Amino acid sequence: MGKPMCRNLLKAGYDLVVMDINPESTKEFATLAKIAQSPKEVASCTEVVITMLPNSPHVKDVILGDDGILAAGRKGLTVIDMSSISPIVSRQLCSELEKAEIDMLDAPVSGGEPKAIEGTLSVMVGGKEEVFEKYYHLMKTMAGSVVRVGEIGAGNIAKLCNQLIVAVNISAVAEALMLAQKAGVNAELVYKAIRGGLAGSTVLDAKAPLMMHRQFTPGFRIDLHIKDMINVLETSHNLGIPLPLSAAVMEMMQALKADGLGNEDHCSLVKYYEKISNQILEP
């Protein structure tokens, strides 16, 4: 995700300092941007630091670690964390940054690598309104939609809502297509028949054809969606809110991971239904 986002920032004319623990990831930017060796180095020579990392522990380390952003001691800096992490952690990190007079936005994205390449990501932002307004156009160079949802942590709450809807929707699509096929009706024709009605959705159009034509190359991996669903359920448990549909889909994904399918696209949820139905979905 970080690479195409960097490309779009460069296209928009921004000067970049880039850093990744994997040197291969920054090679293509060697003549286009300054290459840093640590988050501290990035923070020491920039106005704003954008992070795009796998999960909460990685963001904590990049911000609070010995060579992290805080170690640079840059008052007036702004951190825009575009990772999908726990909103509780976002609030904790913001509190630590504010002590050092550093602003923070939590700004997770939706759309996966294809939308990152196109520069049409959906960005959900939490943080102070004045900080959001200041960096709106910066974020818009990478996105088709940038919406402030509320104060810090609200961006990641919105992302968790997005991820649980996507997960439940994909499982419902898989379940419906298997029902059609088991009933002796062509699944692809059922898809075409229902897509223009109330059952139609972005998920249906994006994932049903992949399921039926067995295209499981990851746009968004099962393993990553499990990570998001862990954050969904941990947050809901902390708030005392039961999420039975999310819990059920989480168990389906865990079953797929146990079958060695964690690196496949999340539309592989159809394989869970194939296994328990003893039938392969066909177009």
Distance CA 53, CA 82 (A): 8
- Please report, as a single letter, which amino acid is at residue 154: A
260: exposed, middle or buried (Cβ count in 10 Å: 0-12, 13-18, 19+)? exposed
Name the β-bridge partners of 122: 110, 145
User: Helices marked H in 65-218 — which ranges?
Assistant: 87-99, 112-118, 129-140, 154-182, 187-194, 202-212
User: What is the rounded CA–CA span in Å between residue 155 and residue 48?
Assistant: 18
Catalytic residue IDs? 159
Residue 135 CB neighbour total at 10 angstroms: 20
Angle value at C-alpha 144, between 139 and 145, nearest 5 degrees? 75
From residue 134, how far is each of 91, 140, 141 by CA, in Å? Answer: 20, 12, 14
Q: Please give the single-letter amino acid code of residue 73.
A: G
Sequence-distant (6+) residues with CB within 8 A of 134 are 78
In sign, the C-alpha dihedral spanning 63, 230, 166, 242 is negative
Cβ(79)–Cβ(69) below 8 Å: yes
